[in-house]
Structures are given as C-alpha cells and as structure tokens.
C-alpha cells in the first residue's frame, strides 16, 4: 500500500448547535366577539424556508409559517399566527452538491416538529381549538422548487 494514497478523507460534520423560536406573533382582531362564533373556520397556511451562512461552516435555517383562520361569508378573521422556528447548524466537509439539499430538506425536517408544537400551543393558549399542522415532505418541496428554477439557455 502506497503512502501517497493514505491521505485521510476529512469526516463530514453535521451538528445541531441551537433550535429556537425566532419570531412569534398572534393576532385576534375580532376578539372578544369572535369567541361566540360556533362555525368551523377555514384555515389557510403559508410556509416558507430560508437559510443563510452565519460564519464558515455554520448556517441558520428558518421555517416561517403563517396560519390564518377565517369564518363566514365575510371571511371574518378568527386568528392569525405567524411563527418562525430556526436552528443553527454546523455543516463542515460536505461536498458542495450535498450542501443545498441538507439546508433545504434535512434541517427543515428537524425544525418542523418544533414549529408544529409552537403553532398548536399558541392557538390553544389563545382560547381556540389547537391547529395541528399536517406533516410536510420537504424533499418533495425542494424538488418542486428546483424544477421551477428556469434553466439558462445559450
């Protein structure tokens, strides 16, 4: 065995440094009268993920969700919740082609259960039935986003 081939490959590093609620807001614009309503609300969900590099090998990934519950033909707002669940992740020695899927799929999969709990808890504490966010396949979302990206033609 040649000594030239004995160069050790650097081990890939993936560490969760911190998970936290970055931002949380709750609005109940029609309180207290809205609590007397008996019909089931229509719930609208908007979800977004983002990532940014904090320093060499350290990234922040954030999932933002906006949940709006409305009732009636006038679409009176029962409540509006915006929550941002974030995490700081250490990613080192990953091949460049693996970095984007880790930030867009692996990290959001770690953060999402915490985001679901935050939304359910804040809605219940506001006096409404808890909102249980459905599971999300971030791999499918990532693939859909990649397919939307326009290709450059020469």
DSSP 72-141: TTTTEEEEEEEEEEEEEEEEES--HHHHHHIIIIIHHHHHHHHHHHHHHHHHHHTTSPPP-PPP--HHHH
Q: pLDDT tens-digit profile of 64-98?
A: 999 999 998 889 999 999 999 999 999 999 998 99
Across 6-15, 37-46, 145-154, the highest mean pLDDT is recorded for 37-46
Q: Which domains does the chain have, with CATH numbers?
A: 13-148 (3.10.420.10)
Mean pLDDT (whole number) for 46-71 = 97
Higher per-residue pLDDT: 100 or 145: 100
Q: Please give the pLDDT value at position 1.
A: 47
Q: Please give the pLDDT value at position 94.
A: 92
pTM: 0.85
Q: Please give the pLDDT value at position 2.
A: 47
Q: pLDDT tens-digit profile of 101-149?
A: 999 999 999 999 999 999 999 999 999 999 999 999 999 999 988 888 5
Q: Please give the pLDDT value at position 74.
A: 85
Mean pLDDT (whole number) for 46-59 = 96
Q: Please give the pLDDT value at position 148.
A: 80
């Amino acid at each position: 065995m040649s000594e030239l081939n004995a160069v050790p490959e650097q081990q890939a590093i993936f560490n969760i440094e911190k998970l936290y609620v970055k931002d949380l807001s709750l609005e109940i614009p029609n309180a207290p009268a809205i609590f007397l309503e008996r019909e089931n609300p229509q719930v609208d969900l908007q979800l977004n993920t983002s990532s940014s590099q904090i320093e060499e090998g350290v990234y922040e990934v954030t999932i933002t969700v906006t949940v709006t519950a409305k009732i009636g033909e006038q679409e009176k707002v029962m409540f509006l919740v915006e929550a941002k669940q974030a995490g700081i992740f250490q990613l080192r020695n990953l091949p460049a082609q693996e970095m984007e899927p880790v930030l867009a799929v692996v990290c959001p999969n770690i953060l999402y259960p915490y985001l679901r709990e935050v939304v359910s808890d804040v809605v219940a504490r506001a006096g409404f039935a808890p909102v249980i966010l459905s599971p999300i396949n971030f791999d499918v979302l990532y693939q859909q986003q990649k397919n939307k990206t326009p290709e450059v033609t020469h």
